[in-house]
Structure formats: C-alpha cells, structure tokens
Amino acid sequence: MAEAAILRVRHCGADIFCRRPPPRCPACGRPLRGAGLPAAPVRLPSPFRHGHRQPRAFLLRPAAGTFLGGYDGKSDLHVGITSSNGVVYNYNEEGIHRAETGWEQCISIPLVQPDMFGLLQQWDTLLEEFSVGEAWLPHRYEEHDHNCYTYALAFINSVLTAQGKQQMSKSEFTEKFVIPQTKKASKYITLHQELTANDFYIVPLPDQEKQC
C-alpha cells in the first residue's frame, strides 16, 4: 500500500503539517496563495523503503505489522540483509529465511558503495555461504544474545574482515548507522499518527527560524 504524502507549509512562525495543502493558514486564517516561498507546500521524504528493492542493504522493520500500521515505538524489531536482487536473508528461532515478500516498509541502510566492484560481484556468494554456517541453525537461536541482529552484524563484520577493515561492535554499528535513521523514522511516524487523527499538525518554530 502506498504511503499518503505528508506536506509541510511554513506560516505564522510554525510548521504546519498536512496531507493536502490548505487554501488558508489553519492558524491565522489568511490565504496562503501569494504568502511567499516558505508557505509553498513541501513534501517530506519518507524514511521508509521497499526492502525488496534495496540491494545489499541492512533492513529494519517491526517484528509484527508495519511502522505506519500501528507501531508503538516499543515493540520488537527484526533485521535482515538483502541480496543483490532484494531477497532478505534473516534469522530467527526457525533458522535462516530467504524472504521475497514481507519487507515492503523498512528502514534501509546501504552496505556497499557503487565503486566496490569486487564486493558487488561477490555479495550473493558471500551471503549464501555465511548463512549456511552452523551458527545459524534453529537450535542456536537465543532471543537476547544470538538473534537476528547477531546474524546481520556478524555477516557485516565477516565482509569487513575480508576487506582488511576493522570489525564493528553492536553499539558502534547501532549508534553510527541505525540510530540516525530510527530518529528520522520516529518523527515521521509521529506526524503520520497525528495526521491520521487530525487534518493539521502545527509545530511552533524556534525563534531564530520564525518568518511570517
């Protein structure tokens, strides 16, 4: 299902978020047409991606449901790694899965730069060979210490090692790559929830940004 766009209009010293641009400012009632460039509607980029269209990426989604389908910010998340054609390799108590559906709304973190030609060619082989290792058999799964994140980070570190690069700890990878994306997603989810309940969501701007 396609996401409904979130638009931002700036007027009356506030950011006004909406689904459709209003003819008049909901705060002051004045017409927005001719109110200057800040009042022009801007579409906010969605932080979510169709995971099966994101090659060679680290994906993050709710374990149940979707980010925009009732996620409360506290429920468990599930992670996976995509192949070059968008198959999502992921690990749980049933072992390794190679999913071709189910990851249509994710946070996506690209893992390979376009100039890494050798890795681009080898990626699928490396991912498959890594995933058939005994470490990822179903009985080895442990919810807190040997889980989907363990699997994804271990694969990333195996690639880094093969490239002669330093491995990353879970906290390092999370802080550097995951948290910046989840912060954006959290703000977007809040806007989505507000606009599901109301026509407008008005956020006053800091004083230094205010322009009417």
End-to-end C-alpha distance for the chain, whole angstroms: 37
Question: What residue ranges in 93-149 does DSSP mark as E strands?
Answer: 95-99, 107-110
183 CB-near residues (< 8 Å, 6+ apart):
none
Rounded to an integer, what distance in angstroms lies between the CA atom of residue 116 and that of residue 62? 30
pTM for this entry = 0.88
pLDDT tens digits in sequence order for the chain, 212 residues long? 457 899 999 998 999 999 998 888 998 888 888 777 778 899 999 999 999 999 999 999 999 889 998 788 788 999 999 999 999 999 999 999 999 999 999 999 999 887 777 788 899 999 999 999 999 999 999 999 999 999 999 999 999 998 899 999 999 999 999 999 999 999 999 999 999 999 999 999 886 555 54
Phi, psi of 56 (to 5 degrees): 50, 55
Q: For the chain, what are the domain ranges?
A: 7-46+195-209, 48-168
Burial class of residue 25 in the structure, from the number of CB atoms within 10 Å of its CB (0-12 exposed, 13-18 middle, 19+ buried) = buried
